[in-house]
Amino acid sequence: MRDDPSLANRPIAVGGLADRRGVIATCNYEARAYGVRSAMASGHALKLCPDLLILRPRMDAYKEASREIHGIFRTYTDLIEPLSLDEAYLDVSRSEHFGGSATRIAQDIRRRVWQQLRITVSAGVAPNKFLAKIASDWNKPDGLFVITPDQVDDFVVALPVTKLHGVGRVTAEKLKRMGIQTCADLRTWRRLELVREFGSFGERLWSLAHGVDDREVQVESRRQSVSVENTYDRDLPDLAACLEQLPELLDQLARRMARLDEGYRPSKPFVKLKFHDFTQTTLEQAGAGLELDDYADLLAGAFARGKRPVRLIGVGVRLVDLRGGFEQLRLF
């Protein structure tokens, strides 16, 4: 839209072609008004919005814009944690710009990005990463939302649990069955009770419901996994058809792993399947090997969860970051 003014005010998306089983990567707000969204099949998006123009991705243009935006970030702080090409956390708690005002820094970043790149930026300002992320989505598009420390409690209490990081569809449904729909509801449960219900994630739920997030901005991001996946032009009808695709996928995975530096050790293998109805499942196993037979067993287990035609197969491996070092914990 920036580079071609004739596209302004019409529904457009970036993604794959509908006749090649393409998927929408992103879309503008005009398209979203029709129900189009990311990760949707391009064919379905066109049914919702017949006038939708689907453009092929231009990664070089996105990377160049990302480099320029991050260059602007670095004039305010070196504590930057990139999340993607167009999203990042900035820790400005020690910045001297604007007298240390995070709000004024965010305003100036938005102004400069628009002036230099003609791209709008939405920003969230808050005392921690959890709240800053939510705040950044609050006034989209082209908005700024600020949560000051004394506003945290009132803001979090009214927050739906579906807004909490890590709460997906399954967890949200379980919380709803427990009568928990807001953080106010969640606060009525004791920490130990949540741990009993959700394991270690219960601890995280309790903290978020109280607005607590002690994660620091990670300047140097290290990989946690490496994977490859492929969407097939035609659904794979059964397990045998899926297994036929494994050797090629594992060859691609081996080539990608060969590009890693020596600071990683492969750990748990995993398999991801997306079925024809767009439901998906991921299966991983600690202690399993990384050979063809090991992935075949995982694939069979994942397929058994759906027993439906498959449109996408992904294979990967979790990584241990050897550069992080290890700590021997005390027994008592």
Which one of 94, 113, 147 terminates a domain?
A: 147
Answer whether 21's CB lies under 8 Å from 53's CB: no
Is residue 269 one of the residues assigned to a domain?
A: yes
Which one of 36, 55, 74 terminates a domain?
A: 55
- State the pLDDT confidence band at 277, using cuts at 50, 70 and 90: confident
Mean pLDDT within 46-58: 94
CA distance 162 to 29: 22
Residue-number span of the structural domain to which 128 is assigned: 59-147
Is residue 251 a known part of a binding site?
A: no
Beta strands 280-284 and 264-275, pairing class: antiparallel
Write down the residue that tokens 């989209």 correspond to: 140
- State the pLDDT confidence band at 86, using cuts at 50, 70 and 90: confident
- State the pLDDT confidence band at 325, using cuts at 50, 70 and 90: low
Is residue 3 a known part of a binding site?
A: yes
Token couple for 65: 């814009």
Query: Residue 327's pLDDT is what?
Result: 52
Same domain, 249 and 312: yes
CATH number of the domain within which 88 lies: 3.30.70.270
Q: What is the pLDDT of residues 186-219, one digit of tens each?
A: 999 999 999 999 998 999 999 999 999 999 998 8
Is residue 214 one of the residues assigned to a domain?
A: no
Q: For the full predicted model, state whether its pTM sits above 0.85.
A: no
- State the pLDDT confidence band at 328, using cuts at 50, 70 and 90: low
Count of structural domains, the chain: 4
CA distance 64 to 290: 36
- Catalytic residue numbers read 87
- State the pLDDT confidence band at 261, using cuts at 50, 70 and 90: confident
Distances, alpha carbon 68 to alpha carbons 59, 113, 117, in Å: 14, 8, 8
CA distance 201 to 248: 36
Same domain, 87 and 116: yes
Is residue 331 one of the residues assigned to a domain?
A: no
Is residue 216 one of the residues assigned to a domain?
A: no
Residue 99 above 60 pLDDT?
A: yes
CATH number of the domain within which 193 lies: 1.10.150.20
CATH number of the domain within which 10 lies: 3.40.1170.60
Query: Residue 19's pLDDT is what?
Result: 77
E-strand stretches of 137-263: 144-146, 225-236
Mean pLDDT within 122-137: 95
Is residue 330 one of the residues assigned to a domain?
A: no
Same domain, 119 and 162: no
Is residue 142 one of the residues assigned to a domain?
A: yes
CA distance 2 to 68: 15
Residue 21 above 90 pLDDT?
A: no
Same domain, 17 and 68: no
Choice between 223 and 78, residue whose per-residue pLDDT is larger: 78
Same domain, 239 and 314: yes
Is residue 263 one of the residues assigned to a domain?
A: yes
Q: What is the pLDDT of residues 287-321, one digit of tens each?
A: 889 999 999 999 999 999 999 999 999 999 999 88
Is residue 99 one of the residues assigned to a domain?
A: yes
Which one of 209, 236, 255 terminates a domain?
A: 209
